[in-house]
Structure 1
Amino acid sequence: MRSKSKGPVTLRRDAVDEGTTDQRLLDSRGPSDWVHTDPWRVLKIQAEFVEGFGALAELGPAIGVFGSARTPRDHAFYAIGEEVGRKVADAGFAVITGGGPGAMEAANKGASQAGGVSVGLGIELPFEAGLNDYVDLGIDFRYFFARKTMFVKYAQGFIVLPGGLGTFDELFEALTLVQTRKVTSFPVVLLGVSYWQGLIDWLRDTVLAEGKINESDLSMLVLTDDVDQAVELMVRARDEDLPIPPAHRAE
């Protein structure tokens, strides 16, 4: 059955429309009726921020977990995602994901089954059907930028499982905000050495070598296969407000 979330609205079967709200906002082609409709879109955007801030204002300490929606349930990283969600919840954090399937579902499942707070920040997409079943507190967004704001405002750190373009976007958005001092520094852990090592090597051997970033930018990333280490870094950042020690930085 075809199904699509459009902000707080769920569409199914013949009611499913083509395209997304973001697409209509950003597409400059076509008729000039955008002159008349964009002011109304501002009210929709405002409403998304109000809804998000209202729902999450009393969330407490939280960790964002990113990862691929395409991770199968029988994949090793689905099990690792469950472990991440469970151990993050056991450490007293809420778990915030994008609310979709795959690695996101796994982290929400682990958190929910551990009795923690499992949060999903969904997004209107033409090929995903709403929040996964393990989200206990869910918000569906029309606009990516409103959703991203909620991640960086309410998460005190990020654990990043293997993923694709969406995961890369969320990862580098967080790093850019720290680099430019738009947000207070927080720990960012890449979980899965074999998956992420090539990215670290490229950042060091090409991007850093050509002076496009500083050594301090690269040191924002921690690369590990150890879920306990990842969670410990989140706990230390919360309890001691300490920078990540050099021994734990990406090699």
Structure 2
Amino acid sequence: MGYRMTAITLLAVGTCLALVAPVANAEPSEAAAPPRTAISIRTVVGIGWGSANEHEQRSALSLIKLYLADYALRHGDGSASDRDLAERMIRYSDDGAASLMAAKYPEAVGAVANEYGLTETRPGADWGAGTTSAADVSDFLASKLRTDPGSPIFDWMASAGSTARGTGQDWGTAQLPLVLGTKWGWSDFGASEVASASYGPGFAVTAHTRGTAAEQTADVLAALPAIAAGLMSLR
């Protein structure tokens, strides 16, 4: 997609969001959200907005599976098993698949962070201990949309289903208008912590909440006016 057509697409996105969320008094440079939630939006033309804490380094949760899958698909051995593990990680947030992939490619997260310039992303002792930021995840997805729109990662995000444990995946950024696909993450231990990252036509949006899935959905939807204002500012 050329930049002219991309700008037209983004203007349409902003217009649609504006119809859903009035933009009066919205600040386009900083999406309104309580401190518990970090929100970041990026477009394929390199423009973005976010909450004041969008660059805060937080637990990557299962969003780190996006980095693992991307590395395996582009730099792995090209095996059918790698593709199967990558699909399971993205569509069903399969922890076992992530463990196998991380053991096979321990360099994956660091390599992807370096390649995409994700300065707030760090690998951990195991895949579940890695950190990233809402801004880094949105930057990554927007870059993928721009340079590798045919990646199967996007198809898998668009066809995600319930996990093996029966956990529904339908909250957070997935509830925003025009979203086409989403990857979710959550903590199974300690205080509730959730994340979601979505893409739509020409944009990517990520949220991380130190709270529940319902709280994240509420925070993301409350930020709609600022998100719409940011997209409309492309005019």
The question of a shared fold, defined as TM-score above 0.5 by the shorter chain, is answered with no
Higher radius of gyration, 1 or 2: 1
Q: Normalising to structure 2: TM-score of the pair?
A: 0.26
